[in-house]
Amino acid sequence: MDRFECINVEEAHQKMHQQTAVLVDIRDPQSYAMGHTPGAFHLTNDTLGAFMRDNDFDTAVMVMCYHGNSSKGAAPVSASAGLRQGL
């Protein structure tokens, strides 16, 4: 199984500030439109190709959802797609 770790908001903020990770938000479009973390990429089936094309595969990917359940499932998928690490 591919490796991922759960991190808290402060750790995520630090990684974004240091540019050592990118944040993807996998929530539905309505929830994303109502509010999202500045700098987060809204990752959907339609935007996946652009995300894969435009991002460095050596940069860690932090996956954000509603409560952490969906992101735990998406992190290993992103790792198996060639992305360095799901957080």
Angle (nearest 5°) at CA 35 between 79 and 56? 30
29 Cα distance to chain centroid: 15
How many angstroms separate the first and last alpha carbons of the chain?
A: 14
Write down the catalytic residue from 12, 65, 72, 81.
Answer: 65
Q: Is 65 a catalytic residue?
A: yes
DSSP 23-68: EEE-S-HHHHHH---TT-EE--TTTHHHHHHHS-TTSEEEEE-SSS
Catalytic residues: 65
